[in-house]
Amino acid sequence: MTKRRGTASIVASPVLVGAVTVLIVVVSVFLAYNANQGLPFVPTYDLSAEVPGAANLVRGNEVRVGGFRVGVIDKIRTRTTEKDGKPRAIAVLDMKLDKVVQPLPVDTRLLVRPRSALGLKYVELTPGQSAETMKPGDTLALSNATTPVEFDDFLATFDQDLRDNSRTALEGFGDALAGRGSSINRGLDELPEFFEHLGSVMSVLNDPETGLDQFFRQIGRASRQVAPVADVQADLFENMADTFEAFSANPEALRQTIAKTPPTLRASSESFEAQTPFLIDFTDFSRRLRPSVQTLDAELGGISDVLGAENRQVLRDSVLLNRRTEGVFRAIDDLASDPNTGMALGNLDDTLRVTAPLVSYVAPYQTVCNQVIYFLAPLGNHFGQILNNGSGQRALNNSDNGAQDNRPSSSEADRPNDVPENEDPQTTTAGPRNQPATSLHGQPYGPAVDGQGNADCQNGQTGYPDRLVTDGRYGPASDGNTNNREDGNFSQTRGGGSNVVVDSDTPGNAGGTYVSRKLGLKSLRDVDRIGLPYHRRDTGFQRRGGGGR
């Protein structure tokens, strides 16, 4: 009986096993090779995008949305478009995206970003908010793409000198930190206390009254001002390096200096209170000195000529002058050391303090009104007539008519000398001889300036007005009693203020004198401006008198 053959196993044939193995390997390699281009038989959402440049992208680079891979770049093409009427080359990216992101809004943003420092890139899509979406095969507009900043462009911002200097700085920092681990640990241990005090400091700096914003603004202005002298500053730092090297050569002396610095700063802070008046006076002195300094630019040429080679003898003689000046300063020192000098200065101070009001009162009469000269000029004529071998004065006594009531020469007058209200004071006569009648005209102590310091020179500048009396005791006489004209007795029992002029201040400003107008002096401010020897010490002016106190 013949035995029946059993069913053959698939693994019994080496050829078949080898063929299956080869087939699996080929399929695996194929799938691995095409993994970056997407798996076969998987549906995709195909879109294109216009970008300014491919930015070193290659076929198969990832496309991401929100940090997750959603597709790959299938193809990179070029295209020519127009911008401002000129042709421009751009790149077109054909992308295969997963269906999970379909559909994307038409305002989706595109950015090419680096994946590593070695140049690997990927495309990042940021979906927009538009209700209109893109269909498969649509192209994302060029305006939706953002120009990336390349890593090599970023590195190109640092030129060779800056890179060398950065390398040197890093080496210096490394050397400074080397071997200082314990100091760093101690510093970290003290940082909590430091930050505790730092809070109050930051509160003060954050206060608007501190003006920290102005500090940085002024720092910027100062930097702009010192920019032209950058080379000089570089030399300064180089010289300072030599100086600090000299400091480090004697560490013990440097240590002692640092130890004595805090008490020195405390003493300096206490001395600032005493220095404040000096600094205020020095500021005022500097302001007054500024006009003189401004003239140096024009005068330096002449000074240089004086100090030139042909005037060396002057410089030699200046040595002898300086030696003699030393004796002068010694004499001044002796004078300052003498106790009597202090007493004399004290008396002088009292004299100046007592005479200051008088000078302040009188000064405007001369500086603005020139009245001293107006007084002295006629005074020469007053004594100029030769009488009794030049010893007599030329004078004309003004006397009244001897018959008018309340005349100036009468010791029984009970009211001001005047003429009736209805009589012309220029033509009225009195007495049996019909002598001119008189009325009281007295305006002493006329002003020199008004309350604002403007010129009001009335003495010798104007005549008398018809009537000028304020708050007088007697009203104008209303009855002239012309029937008694021959005996010169006017009926003034009810009056005495018809034509009387007694107020020292005539209304209105008389202005300056001829000389002050010629000099352009319209007020005390003009006196200060042209530098005449009068300085108004405050802004208060008295109407009568000189004005400034």
Q: Per the domain annotation, does 274 fall within a domain?
A: no
Q: Per the domain annotation, does 461 fall within a domain?
A: yes
Whether residue 97 contacts residue 70, with contact meaning beta carbons closer than 8 Å, is answered with yes
Q: Per the domain annotation, does 9 fall within a domain?
A: no
- Range 369-384 average pLDDT: 74
The rounded distance, in Å, linking the Cα atoms of 94 and 92 is: 7
Q: Per the domain annotation, does 255 fall within a domain?
A: no
pLDDT at residue number 546: 47
Taking only the tens place, the pLDDT of each residue in 50-60 is 888 877 788 88
Q: Per the domain annotation, does 234 fall within a domain?
A: no
Coil vs helix vs strand at 229: helix
Domain shared by 79 and 137, yes or no: yes
Number of domains in the chain: 3
- Range 342-349 average pLDDT: 89
Task: Name residue, tokens 């790149």.
Answer: 91
Peptide bond into 103 cis (omega under 30): yes
Domain shared by 401 and 479, yes or no: yes
Domain shared by 451 and 519, yes or no: yes
Which residues, in sequence order, are CB contacts of 74 under 8 Å at separation 6+?
A: 37, 38, 46, 59, 94, 95, 96
The rounded distance, in Å, linking the Cα atoms of 71 and 38 is: 8
Taking only the tens place, the pLDDT of each residue in 237-282 is 888 888 888 888 888 888 888 889 888 888 888 888 888 888 888 9
Domain shared by 473 and 325, yes or no: no
Taking only the tens place, the pLDDT of each residue in 23-77 is 777 777 666 655 555 555 578 888 888 888 877 788 888 889 888 888 888 888 8
Q: Which amino acid is at 508?
A: G
Domain shared by 448 and 325, yes or no: no
The rounded distance, in Å, linking the Cα atoms of 59 and 71 is: 12
pLDDT at residue number 548: 35
Taking only the tens place, the pLDDT of each residue in 107-163 is 999 988 888 767 788 888 989 888 898 888 888 888 888 877 666 666 677 778 888
Domain shared by 321 and 451, yes or no: no
Q: What is the number of other CB atoms lying within 10 angstroms of the CB of residue 72? A: 21
Q: Is the pLDDT of residue 409 over 80?
A: no
Domain shared by 376 and 433, yes or no: yes
Domain shared by 395 and 454, yes or no: yes
Give the pTM.
0.35
Q: What is the number of other CB atoms lying within 10 angstroms of the CB of residue 247? A: 11
Which residues, in sequence order, are CB contacts of 171 under 8 Å at separation 6+?
A: none
Domain shared by 390 and 504, yes or no: yes
Domain shared by 327 and 452, yes or no: no
Helices (H), 249-311: 251-294, 296-306
Task: Name the β-bridge partners of 88.
Answer: 81
Range of the domain at 75: 43-156
Q: Per the domain annotation, does 422 fall within a domain?
A: yes
Domain shared by 489 and 366, yes or no: yes
For residue 446, give the nearest of 365, 513, 505, 362 by alpha carbon.
505
- Range 179-194 average pLDDT: 85
Domain shared by 451 and 479, yes or no: yes
The rounded distance, in Å, linking the Cα atoms of 52 and 59 is: 17
Taking CA atoms, 452 is separated from 265, 363, 368, 517, 544, in Å, by 50, 15, 13, 18, 12
Q: Per the domain annotation, does 170 fall within a domain?
A: no
Of 132, 156, 180, the last residue of a domain is: 156
Q: Per the domain annotation, does 266 fall within a domain?
A: no
